[in-house]
Chains A and B, each alone.
Chain A
Amino acid sequence: MDRIIRAQGLFKSFTLHTQGRVRIPVLNDFHFEAGPGESVALVGPSGAGKSTFMRLLYGNYRAEKGIIEVRHRGGIVDLAQSDPHEILDLRRWTIGHVSQFLRIVPRVPALEVVMEPMLDRGMERENAAEKARGLLQKLRIPSRMWSLSPTTFSGGEQQRINLARGFSVFYPILLLDEPTASLDPLNAGTTIRMIREAMDSGTTVIGIFHDKDLRDTVAQRCVEITGIGLNG
């Protein structure tokens, strides 16, 4: 497989047992593939399944049916069948993810949050700290905030912490969920440059970008997720 990621026959629905067993189908026989270094935007109306698909690619949601083949450690792994240990390994080495929201852990300083992916790969603390500082500086987070927990940061600041963390190591696949949603034009511009740099180094970028200009700047092609039964 020359593709870096290939999803085939993907089905995902949610059965809400606590709310009258209502079943909500989201993805129906969905196919998707991307090659190394490509950048793809997922487009479609709100609620259509873009985030759901993203979460399936990250192993956060479990597919009902179908395969999600990913090139990992020189072989091919079906994420839809992977056990927890394997998903964690995929996340550490192959699939990066920048979500819209930062999950705050009390007491953990911003610098430490950014360092985590590097430390997980065995990087020396001081090297990781230096790289983290560079990234935070690039995204204009003042140094006086590096030792603070992001608990009190603004939405835009939290998003920049998330971005710094997501770009701290090389990922063959990078999932971006509205990466510039809370950013001012200056930081959005920096983020676009960082996305481009990642693409240049061979990262496959799969993103949800509501901003059309951003999408046009960053994505080489768009994949539509139209949503099942959204129109009644």
Chain B
Amino acid sequence: MPLLRVQGVEKSFGRVVGCRDISLSLMPGEILGIVGESGSGKTTVLKCVSGRMKPTSGSVHFMSRLGWRDMGTVSHSEARRIMRNEMGFVHQNPRDGLRMRISAGGNIGERLLENGARHYANIRAKAIEWLERVEIDPARIDDPPSTFSGGMQQRLQIARNLVTHPRLLFMDEPTSGLDVSVQARLLDILRGLVRRLGISMIIVTHDLAVARLLAHRLLVMKLGGVVESGLTDQVLDDPQHPYTQLLVSSVLQP
């Protein structure tokens, strides 16, 4: 039983086609990587399948806790409920996914409050638990993210999204802009969380090494369309499409 089913999604911006003919199914616990260069349409696809953008055509169905839902026809409030509680979205720039002027603890607790949690001590305890899980010193709980480094902000964003135990996490270039050592730490934390919590993920990245590390399956995109898809190591080690071969051969090995 899939968690997410996307059929024939297309998104146009006037005459410009952002993405076309996007179909995929995501099973529980599965990680799907979407790779491709800038302008390939990866982020457009992510926004369409996560409910953040309305597709021009096609459908997105999600298996929410209350049943199978067509994200194109659900009520505004139900969509909000699903996107807040059952899905997470980690933005490329943490500033787009955090409230920079409230405390780290406040960022994590916000969704709990929105869901009706009122017991202050419990919320604070949960925030501490999550700060530890993403390896942020709990002593920073009252500091605003504007005082955090980029890597810390990214980890806070992850914690903020996971506190409601979503079954599906969308990530848009989560490691770009981060130093390699910081990246390694983030990826390791993500791998651990995904395994422990059984979360499904759709991760957009232009970094094939990140894709290989995290994703079970890959979609390779070029100019709005999917040119190749399959098992991650098969796509990267036995690429069939000329564009995939180009991508793979362009990566420098240190």
Contact = CB atoms under 8 A, between A and B. Distances in A.
Interface of A: 14, 16-18, 55, 59-62, 84-85, 87-88, 105-108, 119
B188 A105 contact: yes
B67 interface: no
B231 A84 contact: yes
Contacts of B237: 55, 60-61
A181 B233 CA distance: 24
Nearest to B241: A17
Nearest to A106: B184
Contacts of B27: 85
B246 A17 contact: yes
B217 interface: yes
Contact of A16 (B213, B232, B245): B245
Contacts of B181: 106
Contacts of A16: 245
Contacts of B30: 85
A105 B189 CA distance: 12
Contact of A107 (B184, B233, B242, B245): B184
Contacts, number: 50
- Main secondary structure, interface of B, reads helix
Contacts of B242: 17-18
Contacts of A59: 231, 234
Given A85-B27, A106-B184, A106-B188, A60 B234 contact: yes
A88 B231 contact: yes
B231 A87 contact: yes
Nearest to A52: B238
Given A61-B234, A61-B238, A105-B188, 19 more contacts: A17-B241, A17-B242, A17-B246, A18-B242, A60-B234, A60-B237, A61-B237, A62-B230, A62-B234, A84-B216, A84-B232, A105-B187, A105-B213, A106-B187, A106-B188, A107-B184, A107-B185, A107-B188, A108-B188
Contacts of B234: 59-62, 84, 87
A85 B191 CA distance: 18
Contact of B238 (A62, A85, A87): A62
Contacts of B246: 17-18
A33 B135 CA distance: 50
Q: Which of A18, A84, A107 has the most CB of B within 10 A?
A: A84
B233 to A, nearest CB: 6
Interface in B128-157: none
B245 A17 contact: yes
Nearest to A15: B240
Interface string B167-200: 0000000000000010011011001000100000
Nearest to B230: A84
B249 interface: yes
B189 to A, nearest CB: 9
A26 to B, nearest CB: 11
A108 to B, nearest CB: 7
A162 to B, nearest CB: 16
A121 B185 CA distance: 25
